[in-house]
Amino acid sequence: MSRWTELTGGTSGEDYAARFAALARSGKDVHGEARFCAALVPAGARVLDAGCGTGRVMIRLAELGYDCVGVDADASMLAVARQQAPELAWFEADLAGFEPSRLDIAADFDLVVAAGNVIPLLAAGTEATVVERLAAALAPGGLMVAGFGLDEAHLPVPPSITLSEYDDYCAAAGLTFVDRFATWDADPYEGGGYAVSVHRR
């Protein structure tokens, strides 16, 4: 069972979406991840939103002209995503067993994004496998972006992965380190409890 399922019981889709809707109404920018991704690849690029949740990032990327596919294991989150954007491609699948061909998806994404603490909320012991699966879905030269917390202040569960471990998983999956930032606004990373990492296939 994933740490996310242990945390939420797989029933938090509506609550999660409501929280971000309230943030947006209050004037807070909730599209930092999509803006970050849009700076990396041109409009029209194929994007895989791995652990897409309620679709906040992917729906914004689709609005910006990207060809998007969303995958998540939480049916309650996907139900919200499908309700908000039924025209987009949403798939229910565990990232540890993700095989694009099984879902009839071409595995040549220009960008894979894993936002929202996807990596630390995976089932314990599946992190390297998930990174390998996501790397395999990239086209040659494609980019993988993952943003996640590294300490208790930035995570809803106890910390479970370090940046060096994540980099090792990426290297084992054939990915090369490109850059790392402290936020989705691309502030430089100088240590700290949250990091956005970019790797290239």
Interatomic CA distance for residues 48 and 36, integer angstroms: 14
State which fold the 3-200 domain adopts: Rossmann fold (3.40.50)
Task: Quote the pLDDT of residue 23.
Answer: 58
Lowest mean pLDDT among 7-11, 44-48, 167-171, 181-185: 7-11
Task: Quote the pLDDT of residue 2.
Answer: 63
Give the closest residue to 174 by CA, choosing from 123, 140, 125: 140
Task: Quote the pLDDT of residue 30.
Answer: 54
Sheet with 109-114: list strands edge to edge: 89-92, 67-72, 46-50, 109-114, 138-149, 194-200, 176-181
How many helices (H) and strands (E) are present in the chain, helices listed first?
7, 7
Helix axes 13-25, 75-84, angle to 10 degrees: 50
Q: Provide the pLDDT confidence category of residue 24 given band limits of 50, 70 and 90.
A: low
pTM assigned to the model: 0.89
| Higher per-residue confidence, 158 vs 143 | 143
